[in-house]
Amino acid sequence: MSKPARKRLSVVGLTGLTALTLAACGGGDPSSAGSDGAADAIAVAATDDACDVASSDLEAGVHQFTVTNTGSKVTEFYVYADGDRVMGEVENIAPGVARELRVELPAGDYETACKPGMVGDGIRTALTVTGEAATLDQDATLAQAGTDYQRYVQSQTGALVEQTTAFVDAVKAGDIAGAKALFPVARTYWERIEPVAESFGDLDPVIDGREGDQAEGEDFTGFHRIEKALWETGDVSDMGPYADQLLTDVQEIATRSNDVQLSPLQLANGAKGLLDEIATGKITGEEDRYSHTDLWDFAANLEGSEAAVQALRPYLEEADPELVGEIDDRFAATEAELEQHRAGDGWQSYDQLTDDQLRGLSDSITALTESVSQVASVVAGK
C-alpha cells in the first residue's frame, strides 16, 4: 500500500490561491509559466529524517521545487502558508524518485515540509517570500476559485486513474492481498472529488453503486462489486470484465471531470455535500460494507471538502473572516478526532470503532457541516 489518505488538504500541483496573480498577469497555464517569471528550480533533498530546501528566501512569483527522495519511505512535500494552508503539494514520492512542484507564492511567510511515511506534521523549514503582493477585487477573487478548484480536480483524476489501474491490475492478476491494499487507496481520489464525479449521472452508479441500488435488469458493477468478491469470497477469478469496465469508466469520468469548472456556489455546495457524504455513508459504515475501509473514504471526503473551501478562501477571508476562523477550527477538530483512528499508513477498520468513537466523529462532522453550510450564503454575494 503506497498511498494513505492524509490528514491535510491535498492540492497536488495546484498553485492554489496564488494562481490569482497568474490571472492578473494575463493568465496562463502554470505548467508553461516560464514566461511569467518562474524562478530556477529549487532543489529539495528529502530523506527519512531530513528535508533540505536549497533556498529559504525567494522573490514573489512562480517557483519550481524539485523534490528528490533518497530515503527509504514514500514521502510528500508541502508548501504551507499561515495556519497550514496548503499552497502546493506533491505527494506519493517513492524512494529514489524525483518529483516537481510548481507553486506561485506571493510575499509572505511560509513553511516547507517533507513527510516521510506520509504521516504527521512533517519536517518543517521556514520560507520567506519578499516582493509585492498582488491584490484582486472580490469578483475576480471569486472567479478564480473555480479555476483553482479545477486544477485540484485534475490533480486528483490523474492519481485516480493511476491508482485504479494498479488496483485493476492486481485484481486481474489474482493478487488478493495487493488488490485489498489498493482498494481504499484508489477510492481516496474518487471520494475527494465525489461531487464532481457524481455530476455524471450515467457513470457514478456503475463506478460507485452499492449492491441493491441497481434498477431491475442492471448489473451490480464497479468498485463495490469487486470489493464484495475480494472480502466476501476471496475469489476474483470472474472479476476480470468488471475490472476492465471499472478502469474504462474511471478513465472516462476523469476525462470529463477535467473539463468541469464549478461556480462558487457549486463549490460551496460541493464542500457541504462531501460532509453530508460522511454523515450519511461513512459514519454508518454503509459505503464499504464488505471491506470496512470507510474511514479512508471519510478522510478523503474531508480533504475534498477542505479543498473546495480553500479554493474559496481568498474571497471568504475578505467577506467573512469570522466564518473562516470557525471553519478552520472545526476542520482541525474533525481531523483531530479522525487522527485517533490512524492505523499504520491508513485507518482503522470501521468495525473496530466503538459507538462512543463513532459519536465523536459524528459530533465533529455535525458542527463542521453547520459552519461550512454558511459558505453558500457568503459567496452568493450577500
Least distance between another protein and beta carbon 370 (Å): 4
Task: Please select the residue that binds another protein; options are 157, 221, 348, 369, rule is CB under 8 A.
Answer: 369
Identify the three-state secondary structure at position 26.
coil
Q: Identify which of residues 75 and 369 has a Cβ nearer to another protein in the complex.
A: 369
Integer Rg of the chain from CA: 20
Nearest to 151 by CA among 310, 36, 4: 310
Smallest distance, Å, CB 276 to another protein?
Answer: 13
Closest distance to another protein from the beta carbon of 177 (Å): 39
SS (H, E, C) 105-150: ECCEEEEEEECHHHCCCCEEEEEEEECCCCCCCHHHHHHHHHHHHH
Within positions 255 to 284, which residues make up the interface with another protein, using CB under 8 A? 265
CA–CA–CA angle 332, 333, 339 (5° rounding): 85
Q: Does 366 engage in binding with another protein (CB under 8 A)?
A: yes
- Name the burial class of residue 201, with classes exposed (0-12), middle (13-18) and buried (19+) by CB atoms within 10 angstroms of its CB: exposed
Write down the least CB distance from residue 267 to another protein, Å. Answer: 12
Residue 330 interacting with another protein (CB under 8 A): yes
What's the grid cell of residue 52?
Answer: 533540505
Q: Which stretch binds another protein (CB under 8 A): 11-19, 135-143, 235-243, 361-369?
A: 361-369
Which listed residue (333, 349, 357, 358) binds another protein by CB under 8 A? Answer: 333
Closest to another protein by CB, 217 vs 382, is: 382
Cell numbers 459552519 label which residue?
371
Number of residues that bind another protein (CB under 8 A): 21
Q: What is the rounded CA–CA span in Å between residue 47 and residue 70?
A: 5
Our CB check for another protein shows the closer of 237 and 354 to be 354
What is the binding site for another protein (CB under 8 A)?
A: 265, 330, 333, 359-360, 362-364, 366-371, 373-374, 376-377, 379-380, 382
